[in-house]
Amino acid sequence: MPPDFDQIIIRSLHAHEWREMRDLRLRALRDEAADIAFIDTFDSAVVRPDDFWQQRAAAASAEAGALASARQFVAITADGSWIGSVTVLIERTGDKDFEGLTIKRSAGAIVGVYVDDALRGRGILQSLFEAAIDWVRERGLDYARLYVHARNLRAHKAYEKAGFQRTGITLEGSVGSEIEMARDV
């Protein structure tokens, strides 16, 4: 039975939820589009020790504080099932991004986008993006961006629905040809 979408909670990750975060990430890395959607692989992620996941959760959690450089937002059903996530990385002009490119404009970089396949197309991703964009705004930034693989048409459509538009920048990233999409926040 599908979850009641009036009861899906979108919120920041908490540091003590590293196991749930890890399990959701591993499910995402098994998705049919994972090879073009993530720079990580299931095989490399599944063998990481608990302290890796604990540190990752702590760094992107609500408890990381106002000056944190990352925040992860999760979608959780009323019965406690984790069904989606997005992470925002704060990028500052002149720094290097996760692909090693120099940041030209301070922004919130959206990464790690995932919604359970059986629940896509029901507005969950849009709600996750709203939470992420609100956090970018709270951090004093007015711009958000992401990369999407050129062949990931499903993701292109979802990102456009969330207000992201192609910037005209295409790069050869770690997963192949990627298109930058961005929006004002």
The domains of the chain are located at 5-184
Query: Running DSSP on this structure, what letter comes out for residue 102?
Result: B
**CATH number of the 5-184 domain:** 3.40.630.30
d(CA 59, CA 37): 22
Encode pLDDT of 135-156 as tens digits. Answer: 999 999 999 999 999 999 999 9
Mean pLDDT score of the chain: 93
Encode pLDDT of 7-49 as tens digits. Answer: 899 999 999 999 999 999 999 999 999 998 998 999 999 999 9
- Taking the mean position of all CA atoms in its chain, how far away is CA 154? 15
Residues in the chain: 185
pLDDT band at 175 (very low <50, low <70, confident <90, very high): confident
